């Protein structure tokens, strides 16, 4: 088993900039988070441009698709913003890559108290090794197939259509 | 899908007692940890006596077995000390309960910096929903079957036999 | 010795709202922070409206002044936003209240990794008990008098004029 | 103003060793803690052997005294175990060094949730710059003179004699 983790930004990777007082992107938290997991499964981390998923354009999703296509691994975890996670999942799902691709993210940034980021990373890393080929969203401790998931923004939870 | 989480203690749930300056057990961290996950999968938390797994006797493992037998859920996560995790897994594995039972724990307590506890909880919670019936150990970002796992104490990692 | 802590908001007390993905104000972190200090000095916490200090108007500073005037304690710590901390300090300094008033805050919110909030609270709580009557700003591990301090926003540090 | 911080171990600096499952000493947390304070006051960190203060012998206290004597700074913060903090304070107090020396520590290690370490460091760093020459213990948000302080171990708080 070999695993690829692809960082694309999103709330998971938001960072507080103390000079501007705003949340944005700097270095990804994933190298530190992965070290903390003590994972012994062979894995590679690939960092794409870190974006708020509301700012993702078609070209950005195509870049994620290209990274999945190019990956030699059969199991892929994508750390992604929650707001358009299902849209990227749909692009990947339609491509039928024959790999197990699991998108996850966080409601609270990794560096902020009470964050779900590390739990979600663990959840996604686990199911990516076990699920059959396909494209999935893993949030709220649940697995959703790419074509039956939406974010309920008022409640802040993912749910089936 | 419905999930049972059984707390049995171990490093995951160790707590620093500031009056004695020692690590022991007080209230389980799992209620707080589970709230933090924002899990929407139906789940129940069952707390057994919290023990250092080096202190677990046969009767303690039988109590874990009884809890798994009594559970109405088909998917069970057991939070357990790492040192004798494989022994409890062996007791559960030999019982052939027809449920998916995943044991996990932590190398660093939940309340201490750089802990793997939340990652492991996420990992176990994910694979418990996806794996076929059987008894597994989930540590270091890997799934082990109950009859092919050991803790390498010198290295602090789980590995196959 | 008796101490009053007045919460007025600022970066110290910013909270991440997971539904909107923004930093704002909810409950103050100060009750939790003060419990964590294990302070045995008699102290009272007074919460004024929590504001970003860039949004503070004259009326808001007058409310802080009124709270200081009304306080029975001779030692007061004010948790305040950094951007206009010196302006509120100037209002308080000009009033010559005969009390030891120390303004502090944080560059990183209390709930975000690597925050200076708890250090600054400790620093301010200490010097407020020891300094003679007057109005001071305590940031970056230094004490400044109210009429000789400015925030260097580019560097993110406080310094004398 | 120039400040010396002397690390001698104690609960503040305890570290969880994941291979042995015990709390002991490794690298001091103080370099990271000091970076986090964003202190601009000139300061030097001096690390002595890190000890549980229950293990401190006369020779260890003499080494602390020698470090204070050798320091060019007039303000010194000593991070020390709580159990014999008053004993080291007594050695330093009797030496009448003409410097402001403040001993502090923590009830919960810096790396464990809910720690008072950073607050105490801030408190001590503040009062060390303001108090007249003498030897003090700063714990529980209070300043004690070296000859009128004891740790109430049952309650876990410092108090006057």
Q: How far is D128 from chain C (nearest CA, A)?
A: 9
C49 has pLDDT over 90? yes
Contacts of B156 in chain A (CB under 8 A): 38
Calculate what percentage of chain D has a pLDDT beyond 70.
100
Question: How far out from the chain centre does Cα C53 lie?
Answer: 11
The predicted structure's pLDDT at residue A1? 83
| Nearest-by-Cβ selection for D36 from C1, C114, C129 | C114
Q: How far is C11 from chain A (nearest CA, A)?
A: 8
The predicted structure's pLDDT at residue A48? 98
| Nearest-by-Cβ selection for D18 from B23, B108, B111 | B108
Cβ separation D130–C125 shorter than 8 A: no
Q: Which of C127, C105, C123, C107 minimizes the C-alpha distance to C115? A: C107
Interface predicted TM-score (ipTM) of this complex, two decimals: 0.97
Q: What are phi and psi of C12, to 5 degrees?
A: -45, -45
The predicted structure's pLDDT at residue B95? 97
pTM value > 0.95:
yes
| Nearest-by-Cβ selection for D16 from B22, B108, B156 | B108
Cβ separation C124–D126 shorter than 8 A: yes
Contact D134, C148 (CB under 8 A): no
C1 has pLDDT over 90? no
pLDDT digits (tens, 9 = 90+) for B19-37: 999 999 999 999 999 999 9
Contacts of B129 in chain A (CB under 8 A): 127, 142-143
Separation of alpha carbons D159 and D161, rounded Å: 7
Q: Which residue of A has its CA nearest to C151?
A: A19
A91 has pLDDT over 90? yes
Separation of alpha carbons A126 and A142, rounded Å: 12
Calculate what percentage of chain A has a pLDDT beyond 90.
99
Contacts of B138 in chain A (CB under 8 A): 126
Question: How far out from the chain centre does Cα B1 lie?
Answer: 19
How much is the average pLDDT of C94-104? Answer: 98
The predicted structure's pLDDT at residue B1? 83
Q: Which of A56, A123, A43 minimizes the C-alpha distance to A86? A: A56
Contacts of A130 in chain B (CB under 8 A): 126-127, 130-131, 143
C56 has pLDDT over 90? yes
Region of B15 please: left (phi>0), alpha (psi -120 to 50) or beta: beta
Q: What are phi and psi of A41, to 5 degrees?
A: -65, 135
Using CA atoms of C136, C138, C144, C147 in order, give the dihedral in degrees to the nearest 10. Answer: -50
Contacts of C158 in chain D (CB under 8 A): 40
* SS3 sequence of chain B: CEEEEEEEECHHHCEEECCCCEEECCCCCHHHHHHHHCCCCEEEEEEEEEECHHHCCHHHHHHHHHHHHHCCCCEEEEECCCCCHHHHHHHHHHCCCCCEEEEECCCCCCCECCCCHHHHHHHHHHHHHHCCCEEEEEECCEEEECCCCEEECCCCEEECC
Residues on chain B bordering chain D, Cβ-to-Cβ distance under 8 angstroms: 11, 16, 18-19, 21-23, 107-109, 111-114, 153-154, 156
Pairing assessment for the beta strands B22-24 and B15-17 based on DSSP bridges: antiparallel
Contacts of residues D22-25 at CB distance under 8 Å and 24 or more positions apart, as own/partner, are D22/B23, D23/B16, D23/B21, D23/B22, D23/B23, D23/D109, D25/D50, D25/D51
Given pLDDT bands bounded at 50, 70 and 90, which one contains residue D1? Answer: confident
- The set of chains that have 3 or more CB pairs under 8 A with A is B, C
Q: Which of B14, B21, B24, B52 to mutate to test the interface with D (most CBs of D within 10 A)?
A: B21
- Quote the DSSP letter at residue C132: P
Separation of alpha carbons C4 and C46, rounded Å: 7
The predicted structure's pLDDT at residue B89? 98
Cβ separation C122–D120 shorter than 8 A: yes
Cβ separation D16–B154 shorter than 8 A: no
Q: How far is A59 from chain B (nearest CA, A)?
A: 31
For D95-157, give the DSSP string.
T--SSEEEEE--SS-TTBTT--HHHHHHHHHHHHHHSPSEEEEEETTEEEETTS-EEETTTTE
Cβ separation D108–B11 shorter than 8 A: no
Contact D121, D33 (CB under 8 A): yes
Q: How far is A65 from chain B (nearest CA, A)?
A: 24
Q: How many Cα neighbours within 13 Å face the side chain of C126?
A: 35
Q: Which of C127, C76, C79 minimizes the C-alpha distance to D123? A: C127
How much is the average pLDDT of D51-70? Answer: 97
The predicted structure's pLDDT at residue D106? 98
Cβ separation D16–B112 shorter than 8 A: yes
The predicted structure's pLDDT at residue A11? 98
Q: How far is B33 from chain A (nearest CA, A)?
A: 9
Q: How far is C102 from chain D (nearest CA, A)?
A: 12
C126 has pLDDT over 90? yes
| Nearest-by-Cβ selection for A40 from B124, B130, B140 | B140
Q: What are phi and psi of B143, to 5 degrees?
A: -105, 130
C94 has pLDDT over 90? yes
- The set of chains that have 3 or more CB pairs under 8 A with D is B, C
A19 has pLDDT over 90? yes
Contact B11, B18 (CB under 8 A): no
Separation of alpha carbons B11 and B84, rounded Å: 12
Q: How far is B122 from chain D (nearest CA, A)?
A: 20
Residues on chain B bordering chain A, Cβ-to-Cβ distance under 8 angstroms: 1, 3, 33, 36-41, 43, 107, 114-116, 118-127, 129-131, 138, 140-143, 156-159
How much is the average pLDDT of B134-153? Answer: 98
């Amino acid at each position: 088993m070999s695993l690829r983790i692809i960082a694309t930004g999103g709330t998971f990777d938001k960072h507080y900039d103390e000079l501007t007082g705003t949340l944005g992107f700097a270095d990804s938290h994933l190298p530190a988070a992965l070290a903390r997991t003590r994972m012994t499964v062979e894995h590679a981390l690939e960092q794409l441009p870190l974006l708020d998923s509301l700012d993702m354009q078609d070209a950005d999703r195509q870049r994620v698709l290209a990274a999945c296509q190019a990956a030699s691994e059969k199991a892929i975890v994508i750390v992604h913003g929650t707001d358009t996670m299902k849209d990227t999942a749909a692009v990947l799902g339609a491509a039928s890559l024959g790999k197990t691709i699991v998108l996850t993210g966080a409601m609270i940034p990794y560096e902020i108290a009470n964050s779900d980021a590390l739990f979600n990373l663990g959840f996604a890393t686990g199911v990516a090794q076990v699920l059959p080929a396909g494209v999935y969203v893993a949030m709220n401790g649940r697995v959703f197939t790419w074509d039956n998931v939406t974010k309920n923004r008022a409640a802040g939870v993912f749910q089936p259509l």
